[in-house]
Structure 1
């Protein structure tokens, strides 16, 4: 079956909308792949592989002169100033290039341009230059050079004014802010480019608009929360002004466009990618504190390593004896980061969060759990070490909390982790991939054993060598200090060290147990998240082996993710199914050893009875429907499969006019078809296919359908053929996927599944791809080419009563439908009619008929009419597992306009 209305759209005029992705990319070798043999090029005239790439880079530079010039000036100025500072021994950035409140008040506006060009550290160029090139190219492509300049000026001036004002209100009371007011700071070139980027996002497709804004705001939030320099506030407000300016500049949407956009949704794939990116940005945020004089967030204490402060051991000893003043708190912080173990313990949790972000990006359920747990631990640690411990351990703890900003620190530390917890929880369904239980058990056991062993080692050293510490620790003191060995030092800023090591051995144990534990935790987590196996993978693997023995045209769908499997007693055949509302809904009939299929139907029904499930066979063909009817099952026609015989393929006659026109048009426009597995396609082609699919799915007001409808994830199987249409510029215009069918271990036919095309692709491109597939299969000698079936299209009722007669019939007419069957028919027909404007299954049904196929019915067979309401819910749940009440409400509103 096919999950798209893209095919019928190919026969109507394409909408004039902007593409979801850039329609021009670097030329790739696949764009010239012809359908006919090409002439052999002489070796002496072969083009060097790097030459086309160089031409593309030169062409890009010529089309973005402003961006290239600005990036070059920024690079030259920063490197030149850095060399001058190094030669003269001056600090970087130099004083004459810094902006400050006092200088602006004195009218020294001339320092603003230099403050905008310089970065806070020369190494920042490694990040800022690529960011400038990316943001500038997007804005300049949309607006041109002149308009980009004035948009940049408006946003940067507004951002500087608002950002500096808000930064004073937020942090003006801090001692370090007085130094910034006096000596100044730089703003950075990103302040100039973030506004045009956000303005340009308003003119992009919804998918790219969402990507640009989410990533940009995530980066800006990390800068403000973890570093908090005035320049970061300026960047944040420049982005906000660009967002607003883009909204005002973008053309007004028509009622139809507005209604369509209100119904757009985010797919699972897009959601998990965005969550992963946001998590990675938040994890990397603490690193910006390393080069900042303003230290915020859990790991901001690491920034002291980059500053002029040095540990005063004499003052530290006095603080350990008396404690309480602000200078003592500073000495505690410096003391902790002066130890390599404290630094490593602060960095490794950051690495853990990056590993978790990778797992979220890949859709791992374990990563979602770890993200919630780690962020919750951050919140708990913030509360403990900022509120509980200072009050308990110091009689003057409450005053210290107020004096040293613990309340504010706890709030800033806990807010972002709480937001991450909410984000992951809301998108929980986007992380369905699980890890094998045996691997999880090994990882958990290794982590727990390491923790216990390290704690025992620490306790043993403290008990056996108490005099090798500054203060001999008692068992209670050792127990109280133990958690601090595993906690990032940023949480311990206001906590007095209970004792310090004075020998090499105690120093190694004191500083080493935390890094060892976090190293093991990171490695075992990465080991789990990189595991290619998931829960049920062994069963899926067995089913994938059996489908290559024998099956029907849609049996391959039974190997997809989300299915359970029942294996015959011999293990030579299998039935794929899903359970919802007490109904075991199969994905077509049995596959594997054909001799067992008849027995499998009965055995699976008994298996379901043992589990108190109602067996329902979905998308079975006529032969199995008849066998189920003999068992007392009623049946319902749920679609019509379209089957083409490649051996008889021809396009002569009036009925084939549309197909002939599509083929000829594709040839005139230089479009060729390319066939390969997904993982053998060039990376640029893969990215375009994913973007085409994402844009198609987001334009639907209901979630992407599953069950017997494949998506991008189902393209990854190497056994699936990908046939895509690519034009002379390397732009993928449309794509189809084809599922194999085996008989006696040999492939005998292929079934159409995935169909997508760009909104602006030429009319008839889908007809072209299907016709080319038929020609390819004709040359290969395939027995059939199935165009699959449009789900819930062409429904009709056919009742097969039990031998003894079913309730509601006289027992003599096997074709007389009972009231229950009519009810289910009406429910499914209503569902089909409701979602027709979204998925267009009836239009797809008519589109496939133009290929003059043979029509074969597919059926739903069920044993008990009393279960019809549950069966209807199970079918809808299987096709739309992610549908929520909000989706239904949004869809109804869109339909009522």
Structure 2
């Protein structure tokens, strides 16, 4: 056993033929310079022009549509720190783009696209100044397009030549960056950056890139990346508005929320717009009472950032936390909008003239948009919540809620006692009724309080402590509670049961789906009087199992009956799904119906060879791989480099984007399971070292040991060598034989069967499954997959669904679809059905 496991854990190179010994890797500096001459030229131009500008401290205003000035603007910055950042961005952006576009096209995108951006920006500036001068959406663009606009134009153009994964990431990242800066900061540079998006897209198409302008379908992992980015932007945006905002952006109103509504006017503490504590009408000098109080309002944004990290890691609780904070932000902005009065806004605009505030109507519009934005984000998070599948432990949720409630009660108590003890130091003096009525406001960050709601203000240091300290302590407690909640939510609700199930599987046996029972989303039932367990998911009142029982006592016939009794006690209908012949026989005493739902292909690595006429494709693929220098390597996810992992995700995302239905789970694996230390990867590399295809393999447990491996994920690049999968599977057989394995599964092919009988003898349900299989074929190719496996001349074994009542088949089918596609709604199901019909109709024509 130890020897076998040591062999299994070793990751070695497997090659179809002896390869020449490679020299140690070294940096090819001259070659790199030759391949990136355009990048180095652009970087040098920025360094020279910007250094002269900084050294001479010259100011710059582009001449209207002056070509020389417009060109200089593309390579000119006037701040040393900005220059350092710009040089780094240029090396990365142009360097990567030059690899995709080539030198000439990259330079064309930078220079040509930048000039077009500059011209459009100056045209918009003329329009704003002469047609809508009263509408201020940004600082007037009169300095020419900055380097960042040209770089974004290059990046978007390069996305037209990138893979689906990076095409989506580049475009969404560019849109988020440009829109965020334009809405929150709204400097002249930000308008140019926004214009660079369509210009870059047009440049990419003109230069010969793909015309796929839509957002391709993404995997669950990539959806989490996008949702996390969206959540993070809503957290960072207000900070951008505060630190870098020009005051002219639509969402510049968020910068106002960093101001303390309490002022010191001619030595008197007051609140502009307050009825009970107004500022002196003749005051000439205004100052914030506590300028640092605005940082308290940053704490809810920090909670959002923590939630974004949790969403990225797949935590459902973190997603709910992000939804909650966004809903609270929507409510706060709505209340602020309803309570704000025009004359108060006008007076605030006068006092805060340093922010170049535009007309009052723009502030009102900003409040409306500022309230709608978090609501929209919350709706999107709820809509795509299925991407975050890891549920938190109930105890962790209770601790989080308890911490927030205790912190709220403690802060309110502190505020109540503090204000009552120092009541004489407030203006005007508040009675107990007034203090109690306004007590909930003490949990709101001070800078978010509408002036109209302030009925008394603190005058002395002690009174100010009672005013500012409670919200600070409350939100600090929420931040700490959020960190604990998100981190501890990494343990799924079934984590203790999963470890118990893992131990049973390792000590006993399971079917070829046994290792899939350890995936996220499964719930476990454990036999009371036997060492056996069953993994299942409850959907629509049906408890759908993932394979049969596993563990040392999986052959005990009473296990299935006990599970069925358990389900009946819970009010569920048990459905044993994808069970093998042995499990079907053990369940026979139940007297239930059975339906073949898949067939599994087995090979014996000890005896299988590529010899024989019917296995010619395997031999051809192996020979071609040897000629083309294709190699294969066994490894685990942790042993792969960062770049190798990126290539694998790239291949997988390209595969998902081509599908007309969402990525499926349950008995179908994805890249989410590749980081399991028990999963082995077999990757194929071409002569340049690029990964062109990969397969993943999950262990098959027999009597307390790993007896073999089952094929799980199998994906390749579009330009991979024909027959690369035949080559990889042939290599897998050889390796498993060397490791002493006795079984190898090419996994089950859903809705596919190896026909051996008369079609007339088949039931209506069997023929119905054939119809469903034909419907799904254009999307997932289950039949094509089954035919591919026949090339290896395997032994086929049926997989069954055992169910109690045939009249429930339609409801069971819906439950199964919900197992395979979590979060499927009625609308998305209708859209999916329509997308599946279109390929068939097209084929019919």
Q: Distance in 2 between matches of 1:447 and 1:159?
A: 51
Per the normalisation by structure 1, the TM-score is: 0.81
1:381 aligns with 2:332: yes
Question: Structure 2: 5+ residue runs without aligned partners?
Answer: 1-10, 352-357
* Aligned position for 2:719: 760
Structure 1, residues 492-517: CA drift from partner, whole Å, max 9, x if none? 57658655555544444433333332
Deviation at 1:225, TM superposition (A): 1.2
1:445 aligns with 2:396: no
CA gap of 1:693–1:174, structure 2 versus 1, over 3 A, is closer
Partner of 2:556, secondary structure, is helix
1:269-280 equivalences under 5 Å are 269-280=221-232
Q: Distance in 1 between matches of 2:555 and 2:798?
A: 23
* Aligned position for 1:68: 40
Partner of 2:750, secondary structure, is coil
Partner of 1:597, secondary structure, is coil
Q: 2:792 is matched with which residue: 851, 871, 882?
A: 851
1:697-776 equivalences under 5 Å are 697-776=656-735
* Aligned position for 1:434: 391
Deviation at 1:40, TM superposition (A): 10
Q: 1:892 is matched with which residue: 837, 840, 844?
A: 837
1:411-430 equivalences under 5 Å are 411-430=368-387
Q: CA RMSD in A?
A: 4.0
Q: 2:197 is matched with which residue: 225, 230, 239?
A: 239
Deviation at 1:832, TM superposition (A): 0.8
1:780-819 equivalences under 5 Å are 780-794=739-753
1:107-118 equivalences under 5 Å are 112-113=70-71, 115-118=73-76
CA contact (8 A) 2:541 2:573 kept: yes
1:347 aligns with 2:293: no
Deviation at 1:555, TM superposition (A): 1.7
Structure 1, residues 1-29: CA drift from partner, whole Å, max 9, x if none? xxxxxxxxxxxxxxxxxxxxxxxxxxxxx
CA contact (8 A) 1:121 1:291 kept: no
1:335 aligns with 2:335: no
* Aligned position for 1:268: 220
The answer to which of 63-72 and 778-787 deviates more is 63-72
CA contact (8 A) 1:590 1:597 kept: no
Q: Distance in 2 between matches of 1:518 and 1:628?
A: 56
Q: Distance in 1 between matches of 2:350 and 2:298?
A: 31
Per the normalisation by structure 2, the TM-score is: 0.85
Q: 2:484 is matched with which residue: 508, 524, 527?
A: 527
The answer to which of 138-147 and 583-592 deviates more is 138-147
CA gap of 1:414–1:109, structure 2 versus 1, over 3 A, is farther
Q: Distance in 1 between matches of 2:673 and 2:541?
A: 27
Partner of 1:794, secondary structure, is coil
CA gap of 1:880–1:169, structure 2 versus 1, over 3 A, is farther
1:828-843 equivalences under 5 Å are 828-843=769-784
* Aligned position for 2:505: 547
Deviation at 1:591, TM superposition (A): 0.6
Partner of 2:578, secondary structure, is strand
* Aligned position for 2:237: 285
1:185-264 equivalences under 5 Å are 187-247=145-205, 250=208
Structure 1, residues 263-308: CA drift from partner, whole Å, max 9, x if none? 9523322222112122223322233331344364354148889xxx
1:297 aligns with 2:252: yes
Deviation at 1:113, TM superposition (A): 4.8
Q: Distance in 1 between matches of 2:12 and 2:52?
A: 44
Structure 1, residues 342-379: CA drift from partner, whole Å, max 9, x if none? 13213222222221222222222222222222222222
Partner of 2:747, secondary structure, is strand
Partner of 2:634, secondary structure, is strand
Q: Distance in 2 between matches of 1:540 and 1:239?
A: 47
Deviation at 1:427, TM superposition (A): 1.5
1:627 aligns with 2:586: yes
CA contact (8 A) 2:775 2:837 kept: no
CA gap of 1:523–1:226, structure 2 versus 1, over 3 A, is same
Deviation at 1:715, TM superposition (A): 1.8
Deviation at 1:172, TM superposition (A): 4.3
CA contact (8 A) 1:470 1:502 kept: yes
Structure 1, residues 108-130: CA drift from partner, whole Å, max 9, x if none? 88655555444575444465444
* Aligned position for 1:357: 308
Q: 2:524 is matched with which residue: 565, 574, 579?
A: 565
* Aligned position for 1:161: 122
Partner of 1:414, secondary structure, is helix
Q: Distance in 1 between matches of 2:207 and 2:361?
A: 46
CA contact (8 A) 2:621 2:727 kept: yes
CA gap of 1:869–1:303, structure 2 versus 1, over 3 A, is closer
CA contact (8 A) 2:680 2:698 kept: yes
CA gap of 1:176–1:660, structure 2 versus 1, over 3 A, is closer
CA gap of 1:175–1:843, structure 2 versus 1, over 3 A, is closer
CA gap of 1:39–1:545, structure 2 versus 1, over 3 A, is farther
Q: Distance in 2 between matches of 1:149 and 1:281?
A: 27
CA contact (8 A) 1:387 1:407 kept: no
CA gap of 1:176–1:572, structure 2 versus 1, over 3 A, is closer
Deviation at 1:574, TM superposition (A): 0.8
CA gap of 1:114–1:352, structure 2 versus 1, over 3 A, is farther
Q: Distance in 1 between matches of 2:122 and 2:791?
A: 64
Deviation at 1:827, TM superposition (A): 2.2
Deviation at 1:592, TM superposition (A): 0.6
1:542-621 equivalences under 5 Å are 542-548=500-506, 549-570=508-529, 572-594=531-553, 597-621=556-580
Q: Size of the alignment, in residue pairs?
A: 809
* Aligned position for 2:414: 457
- Higher RCO (Cα < 8 Å, 6 or more apart): 1
The answer to which of 590-599 and 185-194 deviates more is 185-194
Q: Distance in 2 between matches of 1:311 and 1:117?
A: 44
Partner of 2:43, secondary structure, is helix
CA gap of 1:227–1:622, structure 2 versus 1, over 3 A, is same
Partner of 2:154, secondary structure, is helix
